[in-house]
Chain A
Amino acid sequence: MPQLNDKAVGAVLLAIGTFVFTYYSIWTLVIPFVDVEQPIRKLFPPQWFAIAIPVFLLVVGVTGIFGFLSFVMLQSGKKAAKKST
């Protein structure tokens, strides 16, 4: 059932989006003002990770995109060289 599959994907995306947004917003905007002993702090890793994880994902993502681009360009260059010989 293609429409059920689409709706499932949509629901999953929606859930991931809302969860990531609320979690990260609380992590960066609320937790720094909460005392170190409060129990809510146990749900969130140290602040260092709030910056490290997105930066790491960004680096991996951009490297992947550029790697894919160079791979495709090298392949098409090889194909053009083959054709001209």
Chain B
Amino acid sequence: MTRVQKIGTTFAAAGGIWLLGMLGWLPLSETVRADVWPALPLLALVSLGAYAFINIGYNLLVFRECPEAYYELMQEIQEAKGDLRAKNVDVA
């Protein structure tokens, strides 16, 4: 089973259960059926967006700078540009 199939089946199962709840086939209390249940897909979507934000934000915060790698990379770029110019390639 590929990853796509796994995600697809999870989605289909969750969607099916949610639809059953919306159609009234599940034993839900009145407040849950009227207020909580319709908002569940939106909660999932909002949580996905928030998870993406948190992930990116946290990784941005803890990412450690490596100055030696920076200088080494800059030098390599200069060398590569020199090589390409010598071979008549138009570089900036």
Query: Are A and B part of the same complex?
Result: yes
Contact A32–B32 (Cβ < 8 Å):
yes
Looking at chain B's contact residues, the main secondary structure is: helix
Q: How far does the alpha carbon of A51 sit from the alpha carbon of B35 in the complex, in Å? A: 10
Q: Does A3 contact B (CB under 8 A)?
A: yes
Interface of A is mostly: helix
* Beta-carbon nearest neighbor of A20 in chain B: B50
Task: Contact check, B51 vs A14: say whether CB atoms are below 8 A apart.
Answer: no
Q: How large is the interface on B (under 10, 10 to 19, 20 to 34, 35 or more residues)?
A: 20 to 34
Q: A residues 5-20 with Cβ under 8 Å of B?
A: 6-7, 9-18, 20
In the complex the two chains form, is B42's CB within 8 Å of A55's CB? yes
- Tell me whether A21 and B57 are in contact in the complex, defined as CB-CB below 8 angstroms, given that A32-B31, A51-B38 are known contacts: no
How many A residues touch the partner, as a band? 20 to 34
Residues of chain B with a CB closer than 8 A to A20's CB? 46, 49-50, 53
Q: Is B39 interfacial (CB-CB < 8 Å)?
A: yes
